[in-house]
Amino acid sequence: MATKKTYLLRIDPDLWNELQRWAADELRSVNGQIEYILRQAVKDRRRRRVPSASDDRSGERPQRLG
């Protein structure tokens, strides 16, 4: 099994309680729920991402306007 990165997270108690309820509704641990939410956010970001000039792999520098 691949190892996972350990990260200390400081979180507001009210948010923690909400995450606990949400995780219980979906039969996950809070850690699993946070990881699920983060994976979904990254997936959504990748889907909406507009290629930037730094993503150009052609080796040419983009022209500046103005």
Q: How far separated are the first and last CA of the chain, in Å rounded? A: 53
* CB-CB contact of 48 with 41 (8 Å): no
Q: What is the pLDDT of residues 28-49, one digit of tens each?
A: 999 999 999 999 999 999 998 8
pTM over 0.75: no
3-state per-residue secondary structure call for the chain: CCCCCCCCCCCCHHHHHHHHHHHHHCCCCHHHHHHHHHHHHHHHHHHHCCCCHHHCCCCCCCCCCC
Query: What does the pLDDT read at residue 4?
Result: 87
